[in-house]
Structure 1
Amino acid sequence: MATVELTEDNLPEILNAPGIVIIDFWAGWCIPCRVFSRIYESMSTKHPDIVFGKVNTEVELNLTLAFKVTTLPTLMVFRDGHVVYAQPGAMRSRDLAHLIGAARELDMDEVRRRR
C-alpha cells in the first residue's frame, strides 16, 4: 500500500478503524525527513495491511499541535485507535521493521487495561 496523506478531514476515520496506523510527521525543508521518507515508502509496500500515513506539518498545523509534535521527523504508531509508540527522529529500515513487529505482537487487552 502506498502512503496516505493525512489531514484533519481524513485522520479521525483512519484512526478509528481497527488495525495498525503509522504516522510520519514531516516537512519539506527537513533533510532527515526526506531521507526517512524513502525507508517509510519502501516499508509501506512490504506491509499492505498497515496504514502508513504522512502529515505535512507545514500544511496541517492543527494536527501538528494536537499531537504535540515539536521535532521532525516524528513517528507515531496507533493500534486499534490507541497510541502505542511516539518518538522523534528518523529510523533505519531494520528498526522500523522491528517496531512494526512489536506493534503486531501487542496484547491489546493489556493495552486497554492500562488506559
Structure 2
Amino acid sequence: MKPLELSAANFERFIGNNQMVLVDFWAPWCGPCKRFAPVFELAAEAHEGIAFAKVNTETQPELARTMQIASIPTLVAFKNGILVHSKPGALKAAALEPLLMKLQKPVDPPSLPRRE
C-alpha cells in the first residue's frame, strides 16, 4: 500500500492505531529524499503488516521539530506507539530490508534473576 502523508492533525492517531509504523521525514527539494522515495514505496508494497507514512518537513515544520528531525531524510519507526528507531540518511533497499526484519521481531521481555 502507498505510504500515507501525515500531518500534525493525524500523526498521533496514525501512530496509535497501528502496531508497527515506519515514517519517512522528507522534503521536495532534497536529493537524497527523492532517491529514497522509490525504495520506501516498494518496501511499503512488500510489507503489508507495517504501516508506512511520510511527513513533508516543508509543510509540517512543527511536527518535524517535535520529532527532533535535524536532517532529512530521516527514517523513524514506532512499535505499539513507542519510538524504537530514528536515523537520518537515505537507505538502499539492501539496507532497508534487514532493518525491517529486525524491527518486526518480537522484543524479548527482560529476564528476571533466578532464585536459588
* TM-score where L is the length of structure 2: 0.90
Say yes or no: does 1:19 pair with 2:8. no
Q: Deviations over 1:14-47 (max 9, x none)?
A: 1112411000000010000000001000110001
Aligned to 2:57: 57
- SS in structure 2 at match of 1:68: coil
> How large is the RMSD of aligned CA atoms in angstroms?
1.2
User: Percent identity, aligned pairs only?
Assistant: 32
Q: 1:84, CA displacement in angstroms? A: 0.8
Q: How many residues align?
A: 110
- Rounded to whole Å, the distance in 1 between the matches of 2:64 and 2:83 is 15
Whichever residue aligns with residue 58 of structure 1, its letter is E
Structure 1 runs (4+) deviating above 4 angstroms are none
Say yes or no: does 1:105 pair with 2:93. no
Q: Relative to total residues, which structure has the larger helix share, 1 or 2? A: 1
Q: Deviations over 1:29-71 (max 9, x none)?
A: 0000000001000110001121111000000011110001110
Unmatched segments (≥5 aa) in structure 1: 111-115
Aligned to 1:29: 29
Q: 1:108, CA displacement in angstroms? A: 6.5
Unmatched segments (≥5 aa) in structure 2: 111-116
Say yes or no: does 1:85 pair with 2:85. yes
Structure 2 CA distance for partners of 1:65 and 1:15, relative to 1, 3 Å: same
- SS in structure 2 at match of 1:16: helix
